[in-house]
Amino acid sequence: MNSTELLNWYDLHARELPWRVSPAARVAGQLPDPYRIWLSEIMLQQTTVAAVKAYFLKFTAAWPTVVDLAAAEDADVMAAWAGLGYYARARNLLKCARVIVAEHGGQFPANRAALQNLPGIGPYTSAAIAAIAFDHAETVVDGNVERVMARLFDLHAPLPQAKGALTSYAASLTPPARPGDYAQAVMDLGATICTPKSPRCALCPWHDICAARKAGTAAELPKKLPKVKKPTRFGTAYVARRSDGAVLLEQRPERGLLGGMLGWPGSEWRETPLDAIPPIQADWVEAPGEVRHTFTHFHLRLRVMVAQVDAPQTNQTFTAAENFRPADLPTVMRKIWSMAEAET
Q: Active-site positions?
A: 41
Pairing of strands 291-294, 232-241: unpaired
Q: Residue 189 to residues 60, 85, 133, 170: CA-CA distances in angstroms?
A: 27, 25, 20, 14
Among 18, 122, 216, 245, binds DNA (CB under 7 A): 122
**Interacting residue with DNA among 30, 317, 331, 344 (CB under 7 A):** 331
Residue 201 interacting with DNA (CB under 7 A): no
Q: Does 253 bind DNA (CB under 7 A)?
A: no
Q: Which is nearer to DNA, 78 or 282 (CB)?
A: 78
What one-character-per-residue DSSP string does 307-338 give? Answer: EE--S--TT--PBPGGG--GGGS-HHHHHHHH
Answer yes or no whether residue 40 interacts with DNA by CB under 7 A. Answer: yes
Instruction: Looking at residues 132 to 151 of the shown chain, list those that interact with DNA (rule: CB under 7 A).
Output: 142-144, 147
31, 67, 79, 191: residue in contact with DNA (rule CB under 7 A): 191
CA–CA distance, 213 with 283 (Å, rounded to integer): 65
Q: Which is nearer to DNA, 122 or 245 (by Cβ)?
A: 122
- The residue (of 262 and 307) whose beta carbon lies closer to DNA is 262
315 binds DNA (CB under 7 A): no
Q: Measured between alpha carbons, how far is 223 from 226 in angstroms, rounded to an integer?
A: 9
Question: Is 271 an interacting residue with respect to DNA (CB under 7 A)?
Answer: no
Helix, strand, or coil (residue 130): helix
Question: Is residue 214 near DNA by the rule CB under 7 A?
Answer: no
Task: Specify the residue, 83 or 273, whose C-beta has the smaller distance to DNA.
Answer: 83
Contacts of DNA in 153-182 (CB under 7 A): 160
Closest CA to 150 of 103, 211, 104: 211
Answer for the pair 291, 301: CB distance below 8 angstroms, yes or no: yes
Distance from C-alpha of 106 to C-alpha of 168, rounded to nearest angstrom: 34
Cα 336 to its chain centre, rounded Å, is 22
State the residues that interact with DNA by CB under 7 A.
15, 17, 20, 40-41, 44-51, 83-88, 92, 119-126, 128, 142-144, 147, 160, 184, 187-188, 190-191, 196-197, 224, 226-227, 229-230, 256-259, 292-297, 299, 330-332
